[in-house]
Amino acid sequence: MSRRYNQRLNAYRIMWVLVLFDLPTETKKDRKAYSRFRKRIMDDGFQMFQFSIYMRHCPSRENAEVHIKRVKGILPEKGHVGIFQFTDKQFGMVELFYGKSPQSPSSPVQQLEMF
């Protein structure tokens, strides 16, 4: 196989998982549930993309499914949570702006995974 073919294949195999949430914070109990959910997804390797939007780089679709299952297992009782998954190729087409200035997407964090 050529190197170019491997790179193209990897761009479609590598996944990104995006978790978006809008959780209530009116009561002390709500704020605690919000903080607990946010901390637990961060402990699972998600990083803040924007307020209430967290993302995680996954080396494969199977690995993405593992992390999606973890998020589903810690969903809070109240609020809205959305989970998206998309390929590295699709992430490469994202256009980001800070004000009117274009920004480059950040590189994925290198993670050591031990089984």
pLDDT in tens, 43-79: 999 999 999 999 999 999 999 999 999 999 999 999 9
The full set of domains in the chain, from first to last, is 3-103 (3.30.70.240)
Q: How far is CA 71 from CA 28, 38, 77, 114, in A?
A: 22, 10, 13, 20
Rounded to the nearest integer, the mean pLDDT of the chain is 87
Reference 8, options 92, 109, 85; nearest CA is: 92
Query: Given phi > 0 = left and psi -120 to 50 = alpha, else beta, which region is 94?
Result: beta
Give the distance, in angstroms, between the CA of residue 87 and the centroid of all CA atoms in the same chain: 12
Query: Is pLDDT larger for residue 4 or for residue 19?
Result: 19
Give the predicted TM-score (pTM) of the model: 0.79
Give the distance, in angstroms, between the CA of residue 73 and the centroid of all CA atoms in the same chain: 16
